[in-house]
Structure 1
Amino acid sequence: MSAPSPNTPSTHRLTVAQALVRFLSRQYTERDGRRHRLVDSCWGIFGHGNVAGIGQALVEHGQGPDAELPFHQGRNEQAMVHAAVGFARQRNRLSAQAVTTSIGPGATNLVTGAALATINRLPVLLLPGDAFATRPADPVLQQLEHPGGPDISVNDTLRPVSRWFDRVHRPEALVPAALQAMRVLADPAETGAVTLALPQDVQAEAFDWPDAFLAPRVWRVPRPAPDPGALAEAVEAVRAARRPLIVAGGGVHHSEAEDALRALAEATGIPVAVTQAGKGALRHDHPCEVGAIGHTGTAVADELARTADLVIGVGTRFTDFTTASGTLFADPAVRFVSLSIAAHDAHKMAALPLVADARAGLEALTAALAGHRVDEDHVGRYRSGKRRWERVTSAAFVPGDENARPTQTQVLGALDAVVGDEDVVINAAGSLPGDLHKLWRARSPRQYHLEYGYSCMGYEIPAAIGVRMAAPDRPVWALVGDGTYLMGPTELVTAVQEGVNITVVLIQNHGYASIGGLSEETGGERFGTAYRFRAADGSYTGDPLPVDLAANAASLGLSVFRAETWRELRAALAAARAEERPSCVYVETDPSPTAPPAQAWWDVPVAATSTRPAARAARTAYERSAATRRHHL
């Protein structure tokens, strides 16, 4: 064979899967001069659709933490995506993880996790196997036969829940597909679940890959500044406002803009309310922080929202919980300014859009507002309201009798007494998100980790594993009720296997407490929400089920601490925090309500006609609240 011409690019002969693993190991993000691995590692469960492709490639390129692409073994495909999402959020979206599965059930199990990632704007790379591109036989095992489209596979279920999707039918198609996948993962305005569907035969094909494709590549994450004209208009609106309010969302954290937000609040005196994703943007005890906003908000924040004449959104999507389903911002003349990296979000609420990075936008606003400060009467009102709400929180957190069984909010009070500023508290579903949003005292930017874009039961345990991987020096707590625990405890085995030290706080309340309460409010009479035996009339109103979830956690390898009283609970939490292996604190709660009621409405439609008194009464209340809803134009 003759020597290659000096002008001929050198190549590497690798399979598609081998090339993809090497490519992923050499991708980086860079922001503010700091570089991060874009794809830190890969989760996987193997079947015939990926075992001889991606599986072999991972072995080919090394095993263990020093491998080109370190591998983590999961137990459930959906949970692997949740773990990757928790990891990406803790890393402020600058690093992500990949998830590989076989074709068939393994691939379709990704759908829920992909939806969660995309809704929450968090990057995760999905690498499901796919049906044969060459069609050697139809159908092969787990191949979907669609009579109107033979090229459709089960992976097409991932299209609507992915921010970007491609199917790599030929080896050479990997080059543009992989580059586009990285672009979307690294783009703060576009990111979410990214899917590269990989036909199992194509994964194993060999190809000559150019050096340039496999060379290290840096994806710079910019901090775009706001348009000068839009900034000037926003500054004019702020200066004219008498009762302004800032609503801080998750974009503050993703942009690492907490210091910039604090500087603006301190300079101007404008109060800051926080969404579920934005909680912790200011410490709970900062004078300008007025707590949660919306349906699960504090009394002071929601009253400020009702009377605000200017609302400044920063990194928020203005979801229905934040706006109380369009009923919260009640001043007839209220105006909105929305600072967001995503133009789609910046234009919501008919806002004056500031399409920019949160930190860059806040810094520009602070500089342009130099010397401006809100009226001291406004400051005095919200600080007085903040003090009143602090007394509400303390009353909900601490029981009168420390030797009594704790309520759910008192469980949070015991945890509040044990955690440090560095701890991370994770939750996603049930009645806990509302109690946490209203009451939790966030002490650092990433202490409060609520997945509330999708509010997905089963997220908490795998997400805790992902967060601890991203921040190995931070104690991590997964708060789960019995309903959530029963949906997905399997990744506890992964935590034990990998030595990922998380603590599960398992609250036994015998059913779906959140939906039970909502059902009662909306005329559903708590139907189908309790974990109980059937009574004589067929309803689930008999004795509680004799399950022992603490024994289950112990059987999966956790150290388990049982608590029956608030005093025992506080001691158990402290003991679990000191453990050097995964652990579980189990407590059965007193169902007595100790959380403050909702301070604003949430739209859950009620039956328009019914023979049952509960539904008729709920409909009357629904129509009264719905009448206050408005579109901001």
Structure 2
Amino acid sequence: MNIDVPYDMFVESADVEMFEPAQWTRVVNSRVQGNPAAVAQVVELLLGAERPLILAGHGVLLAEAWDELQELARELRIPVITSALGKGLMPEDDPLALGAVGAFGPYPANEAARSADVILALGCRFSDLHTSSWEQGYTYSIPPTRLIHVDIDPQEIGRNYPVAVGVVGDCRMVLQQLLDGIAGKGRPDLAAWHAQVDQAKEAWEKFMEPRRTSDKAPIQVDRVFHEARKALPGNAAVFIDAGNAGGWAVQQWQALEPYTHQVAGGMNAMGWAPAAPLGAKLADPARPCICVCGDGSFSMVPHVVATAVEYSIPVVWLVLNDYSWGAIKGLQGAYFDGKEIATSFEVHNEGKLYNPDFALWAKACGADGEQVKDPAELGPALERAVGSGKPYVLDVIIDRDAGVPLTAGWAMPPVPIGKPVFGKPK
């Protein structure tokens, strides 16, 4: 869209009648409840399920319904998965929280999603990344799983999967209706389901532990997010850029509160996240604000460091440096039998990997920074960065050949969906 305003309009004067400010700022504040008959059906399905699961999406965040979500889950002892945009709605250190589901989701989330007999989906769209490109049994098994879909937009219900019950309504209002609906009713015996879920969690922890604690150099990204979680407080807002950083964070970053895993969603553009923490820090000065991005993304907008120095905004950039457009490099390898075209950053007449020294760039701008090559230095470096009170760049040299250990899949036609690294489809 283009709005073309002639210059003379900015200097002309006119007598106009203005509305009162209150009329300009008035907003619609009503919330839509679900159809009571449909809500009653949902209650019946949830209480009669043997393997129920709650899926919380972005709609729960927009409705600010995380308290109601957590109350329902804990009242019925139903495990919770989320979409990538819903991370943090259920604290991911809660025993009922299984993480974000989909192509890059952890094993417990995907295994529960494809094993559930009833799923209560709240405010989600079932996109390709969220569903393993809709491949049956990779993330979801709908049908035979019976889907309850709650959304404020009726066009979303039944768009990608058939539903047993569809409820049009605001997620907070519908959750309140469900809480009222289960009052005074018996609770289902989910002991066998919890045992199955716990088995998946234990298997995943056994697989991940050596990756999270690896002393290999270049540094494993699993270790980066593990150290970040230990070093950062629970309310730290982490802004995740597009590309491989986003996939790693969906699986590896443990979000403990709403709005602490900030992503643009969908096929978003690279380079937005390095700037985003500046505004967040100005809005909430007491909250640590961190950008996690790749070296390619950071190279697009390195001037944000200078802006942070100009306005004394103490944010942290954690740059996952693999000397490449890592996500595109991986896709090229899949399309072209392992070949890559212009995705590695190198001095081409020497074949030597090249990137600017991002830590020195930070210092040149008047900020602070350091390059991290030793995994043992990750935690202390993060603590120094957050505690410095200055804009701070951490240039972390990571394993450029490591990928997110997929527990589901993603198809990029004509490349077919691949086999998971851990776990298997139903």
Gaps of 5+ in 1: 1-154, 157-166, 168-196, 536-540, 607-618
1:599 to 1:467, Cα distance in 2 relative to 1, 3 A? same
Query: Which residue is 1:572 aligned to?
Result: 381
Query: Which residue is 1:610 aligned to?
Result: none
The answer (yes or no) to whether the contact 1:398–1:410 under 8 Å persists in 2 is yes
Q: Which has the bigger relative contact order, CA under 8 A and spacing at least 6? A: 2
Q: Secondary structure at the match of 2:353?
A: coil
Compute the displacement of 1:546 (Å).
Answer: 5.3
Compute the displacement of 1:347 (Å).
Answer: 4.0
State which of 301, 319, 322 in structure 1 corresponds to 2:130: 322
1:259 to 1:199, Cα distance in 2 relative to 1, 3 A? farther
Query: Which residue is 1:533 aligned to?
Result: 347
CA deviations on 1:252-283 (whole Å, 9 max, x unpaired) are 22222111111111122221111110011111
1:256 to 1:439, Cα distance in 2 relative to 1, 3 A? same
Pairing 1:563–2:378 present: no
CA deviations on 1:33-56 (whole Å, 9 max, x unpaired) are xxxxxxxxxxxxxxxxxxxxxxxx
Q: Secondary structure at the match of 1:350?
A: coil
Query: Which residue is 1:73 aligned to?
Result: none
**Residue identity in the other structure for 1:344:** Q
Tell me the distance in 2 between the aligned counterparts of 1:389 and 1:443.
19
Compute the displacement of 1:483 (Å).
Answer: 0.5
The answer (yes or no) to whether the contact 2:293–2:317 under 8 Å persists in 1 is yes
1:221 to 1:557, Cα distance in 2 relative to 1, 3 A? farther
**Residue identity in the other structure for 1:527:** I
State which of 348, 356, 359 in structure 2 corresponds to 1:547: 356
Tell me the distance in 1 between the aligned counterparts of 2:208 and 2:284.
29
CA deviations on 1:404-440 (whole Å, 9 max, x unpaired) are 5422222222212210112111112121211211122
1:546 to 1:285, Cα distance in 2 relative to 1, 3 A? closer
The answer (yes or no) to whether the contact 2:316–2:392 under 8 Å persists in 1 is yes
Pairing 1:207–2:18 present: no
The answer (yes or no) to whether the contact 2:247–2:404 under 8 Å persists in 1 is no
Tell me the distance in 1 between the aligned counterparts of 2:81 and 2:182.
20
Q: Secondary structure at the match of 2:84?
A: coil
Compute the displacement of 1:247 (Å).
Answer: 1.4
Q: Secondary structure at the match of 1:365?
A: helix
State which of 306, 329, 335 in structure 2 corresponds to 1:493: 306
State which of 47, 51, 68 in structure 2 corresponds to 1:260: 68
Query: Which residue is 2:258 aligned to?
Result: 445
Pairing 1:387–2:202 present: yes
1:461 to 1:221, Cα distance in 2 relative to 1, 3 A? farther
CA deviations on 1:119-163 (whole Å, 9 max, x unpaired) are xxxxxxxxxxxxxxxxxxxxxxxxxxxxxxxxxxxx34xxxxxxx
Q: Secondary structure at the match of 1:574?
A: helix
CA deviations on 1:343-368 (whole Å, 9 max, x unpaired) are 23234323333222211111211221
Query: Which residue is 2:390 aligned to?
Result: 581
Q: Secondary structure at the match of 1:478?
A: strand
Query: Which residue is 2:105 aligned to?
Result: 297
Compute the displacement of 1:596 (Å).
Answer: 5.5
Query: Which residue is 2:294 aligned to?
Result: 481
State which of 411, 420, 424 in structure 1 corresponds to 2:237: 424
Pairing 1:356–2:169 present: yes
Compute the displacement of 1:591 (Å).
Answer: 3.1
Query: Which residue is 2:329 aligned to?
Result: 516
State which of 151, 173, 179 in structure 2 corresponds to 1:340: 151
**Residue identity in the other structure for 2:362:** A
1:287 to 1:622, Cα distance in 2 relative to 1, 3 A? closer
Tell me the distance in 2 between the aligned counterparts of 1:339 and 1:569.
42
**Residue identity in the other structure for 1:366:** L
**Residue identity in the other structure for 1:350:** P
Tell me the distance in 2 between the aligned counterparts of 1:435 and 1:218.
41
1:529 to 1:546, Cα distance in 2 relative to 1, 3 A? closer
CA deviations on 1:229-258 (whole Å, 9 max, x unpaired) are 221232233234332222111222222211
Identity among equivalent pairs (%)? 27
Bigger-Rg structure (1/2)? 1
Q: Secondary structure at the match of 1:479?
A: strand
**Residue identity in the other structure for 2:145:** V
Tell me the distance in 1 between the aligned counterparts of 2:378 and 2:123.
37
The answer (yes or no) to whether the contact 2:373–2:396 under 8 Å persists in 1 is yes
The answer (yes or no) to whether the contact 1:267–1:373 under 8 Å persists in 2 is no
Tell me the distance in 1 between the aligned counterparts of 2:194 and 2:244.
32
**Residue identity in the other structure for 1:283:** P
* More displaced 10-residue stretch of structure 1: 501-510 or 408-417: 408-417
Q: Secondary structure at the match of 1:273?
A: strand
Compute the displacement of 1:208 (Å).
Answer: 2.5
Compute the displacement of 1:551 (Å).
Answer: 2.1
Tell me the distance in 1 between the aligned counterparts of 2:366 and 2:89.
36
Q: Secondary structure at the match of 2:202?
A: helix
* 1:583-622 map, 5 Å: 583-591=392-400, 593=402, 597-606=405-414, 622=417
* More displaced 10-residue stretch of structure 1: 326-335 or 454-463: 326-335
Aligned residues between the structures? 413
The answer (yes or no) to whether the contact 1:274–1:293 under 8 Å persists in 2 is yes
Compute the displacement of 1:624 (Å).
Answer: 9.5
Tell me the distance in 1 between the aligned counterparts of 2:342 and 2:254.
33
CA deviations on 1:295-343 (whole Å, 9 max, x unpaired) are 0111121122222232221121211111111113225422322222222
Query: Which residue is 1:377 aligned to?
Result: 192
**Residue identity in the other structure for 1:292:** A
1:384 to 1:366, Cα distance in 2 relative to 1, 3 A? farther
Tell me the distance in 2 between the aligned counterparts of 1:287 and 1:623.
30
Compute the displacement of 1:391 (Å).
Answer: 3.7
Query: Which 4+ runs in 1 deviate beyond 6 A?
Result: none
The answer (yes or no) to whether the contact 1:392–1:596 under 8 Å persists in 2 is no
Query: Which residue is 1:458 aligned to?
Result: 271
